[in-house]
Amino acid sequence: MSFTVIITQDFEQMSDVAARMYLKKVNHAIEKKNSFVGIFPTGNSPTGLYKYLIEHQNLFHAKKMVSFNLDEYVGLPGKTPQERMMHPESYCYFMLQNLFTHLSPTFKKTHVPPGSLIDQTQLEKSLKKGAKDPACYSLEGSGKGKAVVIPKDSRDDYLRWIRSEILDAYIEEIKKYSDAVDVALVGVGGRGHIAFHESGIPLELEMLLVQLDDNTIENAVKDGHFAKKKDSPHYAVSMGAGAVYGMSRCVLLVANGSRKAGPIAESLLGEVSADVPISKSQDFARKREMIYVLDEAAAQGILGKKDKLAKKGIELRDFRV
């Protein structure tokens, strides 16, 4: 249907442009069907957009919005699910701090994948016990980050519970609200991954239990989220590319910083590949609306390549001032 890439000067302009576009889609959906269903990310890239929503909350009806977050860690410190959920590095806590508690009224309903319900010790016992037994689970992915694919009838009781009550239940909850998500707001990881759908994991997978890539763990330490690699969770629950692109009417991707330049360029100029999960954007744009809003640093790999992008049906707009 359409693929638009917008280049902005810096983080502030990127956030402003993306937020204005986002609010138009929120209000259009509410006007049309009296509700809005959105997918929400964490990380640095969307924080400016969230700040804009907080400062301009008089421009939309938050009470008519339902949110589904992309992902959540498994294995954060805490003896109980509640303690793990409210850990300062949990994505539930991130959303409370950066958006939900600043809206009055806040969203009608919020959802974060319940990774905090999973006991990492029990998970690792089940994975060790069922290793090399595809009737328990299998690992899928060409990189170091792997999807732990659990059959519905897994021989392992704990893994079968995770599949039914954590993974499948989250997708079914989204389907209860709408035939399609109005807007999936997403960021991008340093290797082109979306949420915790790591590089190399098959693109068709919808909801994932992920054994995290070393690069993802190292970046979490570099970014100051955890002091050491051993302190960082090694597993996560995440929506996969199959769900993000398969369940949404529009995907709006925001990205800033030079670390994103390589995967952004690959996703636009290269072929669709599981090695760069956001390259699935090209397939998505053939049927729905795909938008990238980038700062100048994240767009370095596509500057001066407007003609090449046009040949692939991608419209490039330069908003730099």
Digit-coded pLDDT (tens) for 134-184: 999 999 999 889 999 999 999 999 999 999 999 999 999 999 987 889 999
- Average pLDDT score over residue span 186-196: 93
Express each pLDDT in 250-285 by its tens digit. Answer: 999 999 999 999 999 999 999 999 999 999 999 999
H-state helical runs in 81-222:
81-85, 91-98, 120-129, 157-161, 169-177, 214-222
Which domains can be identified in the chain, with CATH numbers? 2-318 (3.40.50.1360)
Give the whole-number percent of the chain exceeding pLDDT 70. Answer: 100
pTM of the model: 0.96
Helix (H) or strand (E) holding 140: strand 138-140
Helix (H) or strand (E) holding 133: none
- Average pLDDT score over residue span 277-298: 98
Which residues does residue 236 pair with via DSSP β-bridges, in sequence order?
73, 210
- Average pLDDT score over residue span 124-136: 97
Distance from the Cα of residue 225 to its chain's centroid: 18
Task: Specify the pLDDT at position 230.
Answer: 81
Task: Specify the pLDDT at position 190.
Answer: 86
Task: Specify the pLDDT at position 219.
Answer: 81
HSE at residue 190, side-chain half, CA atoms within 13 A, is 13
* pLDDT confidence bin for 99, thresholds 50/70/90: very high
What gap in Å lies between CA 259 and CA 29, rounded to an integer? 34
Provide CB contacts within 8 A for 59, sequence distance 6+.
23, 27
- Average pLDDT score over residue span 90-97: 97
- Location of structure tokens 């960082």: 232
Average pLDDT, the chain: 96
Is there a contact between 197 and 145 (Cβ–Cβ < 8 Å)?
A: no
pLDDT at residue 321 is higher than 80: no
